[in-house]
Amino acid sequence: MNLLKRITVTAAGVAMATGLMAGAANASTSTPRPLPSITAVTFIFSNNVPGNGGVWASDWVWRTATVTFAGFAVAPWHCGWKGPASGPPPPCFAYTATLHDKGKFVSHRGALTPNQSWPWRGHHIHGVVVGHVSGNASFGPFFATTRPRASLVPRFATNEFGSAPIWPDLFFPKGTTFGVQLGPWSVTFSAWTRCGFQQWTISSSNHHGNVPSAGNITGCRY
């Protein structure tokens, strides 16, 4: 899905002295002790799930997100510090993160199929298809100037299914300076229909699901 692309996300203006100092102000003044993994679960409803032909479905998923302290402090320039002229160096620590989505989807009547590669170019979904969603993504290591907190992550969200590439941001207080890099990811939509089993998988390794091997959700002509 186009929603998950390999990107680097910066918060509060990485490499900006003002953003850096804001992050430092929110950081603990003492070195954080190694942290256990922190997990937050969010129920997400989205009515604008994108495919390669545009929006094609709504879905509702439980997203389980986990941020894990990677076990070591790193040089402050990983968190945007530019040297003494920009102020004292902030604490800077390494983390990894994972996402797991699980739920259901319903296709939009008449929408273009999510896979528009040959032989489905220009084809629309027949009828309405209801099925299951399963997704996974990994991040890191990435670097941040503050500790993550599960309480900052919302328990409910709407139209946020496509925000997965920046979801770990939510664990960190406003003003944190960090960069998150999305690693391997995949999302599978699958359904049993009256004309057989249908499945579409989009991932970081299959051209965002726009190749024949990715499968498709097409509905049934009869």
Nearest to residue 168, comparing CAs of 188, 186, 189, 146?
A: 146
C-beta separation of 191 from 215 below 8 A: no
C-beta separation of 174 from 186 below 8 A: no
Report yes or no on 190 lying in a domain.
yes
Nearest to residue 217, comparing CAs of 103, 100, 136, 123?
A: 123
More confidently predicted of 178 and 110? 110
* pLDDT tens figures, 84-96: 888 888 888 899 9
Q: What is the pTM of this model?
A: 0.79
Report yes or no on 221 lying in a domain.
no
Report yes or no on 3 lying in a domain.
no
Q: What is the domain count for the chain?
A: 1
Report yes or no on 1 lying in a domain.
no
Q: Structural domain of residue 139, as residue ranges?
A: 8-216
Residue whose tokens read 């009256």: 194
* pLDDT tens figures, 102-137: 999 999 999 999 999 999 999 999 999 999 999 999
Report yes or no on 131 lying in a domain.
yes
Report yes or no on 222 lying in a domain.
no
Nearest to residue 3, comparing CAs of 129, 130, 164?
A: 164
